[in-house]
Structure 1
Amino acid sequence: MALPALTAEVRAEAVKKAAAVRKERGEILAQLKDGKVSLKEVLEREGTVVGKVYVRRLLESMPGIGKVRAAQLLDELEISESRRVQGLGARQKERLLELFTPAA
C-alpha cells in the first residue's frame, strides 16, 4: 500500500509537530536527569510523549545510571531492550518504582 502524497503545507505541519514532541520528550528526560521530577511522576504521565520512549533511554536519563547499568537493570527486571514505556506491564512498572523509590 502506497503512502498518500502530502502537500508541502501538510508536510511542514507534520515536521513542526514532530519537533515539538521531540522537544517535550527531551525536556521531560532532562528534568528526570536533574532530579526535578521522579520516575513515578514520569511513569504516571500516561498518554503523553513519554510512552514512546524506550525504557532503556528512560533509565539512562536517571541520575547515576549509564548505559551499562541500564542494560543490567533491564536484564534483572526481565524487560526487553526494545520495550517502550507504554508497553510496560503493571508488574514491570511496580518493580521499577520499587527499585527507584526511596524507602520512607
Structure 2
Amino acid sequence: MALPPLTPSQRAEALEKAKAVRKERGDLMAALKAGTLPLTDLLARQDTVVGKIRVRRVLESLPGIGAVRAGQLLADLGISESRRVQGLGANQRARLLALFPPKE
C-alpha cells in the first residue's frame, strides 16, 4: 500500500508530530528507569504513545533489568518479543504487574 503524497507543509507537520511522540516515549522510559514512574501507571495509560511501545523496551527500562533478563521474563510470561503494550491481554498484564508490584 503506497502512502499518499504529502505537501511539504503536511510532511513537516507529520515530522513534528512524530518527533513529539518520540520525545514523550523517551521521557516515559527515562522516568521508568529513574523509578519516578511506576509500571502500574505506565500500563494504565490507554493512549497510542504508550500503546505502541514494545513490552521488551518497557522491561529493559526498569531498573536492574537488562536485555538478557528482559528476554527471560518475556519467555517466562509467554509474551512475544514483538508484542506491544496495546496488544497485552488482561492475564499478561496481571502477570507482568505481579512480577513488579508498586513500591510504597
Normalising by structure 2, report the TM-score.
0.95
The answer to whether residue 77 in structure 2 is matched with residue 77 in structure 1 is yes
Structure 2, gaps ≥5 residues long: none
Percent pairwise identity: 64
Partner amino acid, structure 2, of 1:53:
I
The answer to whether residue 18 in structure 2 is matched with residue 34 in structure 1 is no
Take 1:42 and 1:103, find their aligned partners in 2: how far apart are those partners?
A: 14
Q: Deviation above 3 Å: which 4+ runs of structure 1?
A: none
State the superposition RMSD in angstroms. Answer: 1.4
Aligned to 1:98: 98
* C-alpha distance after superposition, 1:22-66 (max 9, x if no partner): 000000010000000110000001124011000000000000000
Aligned to 2:24: 24
Structure 1, gaps ≥5 residues long: none
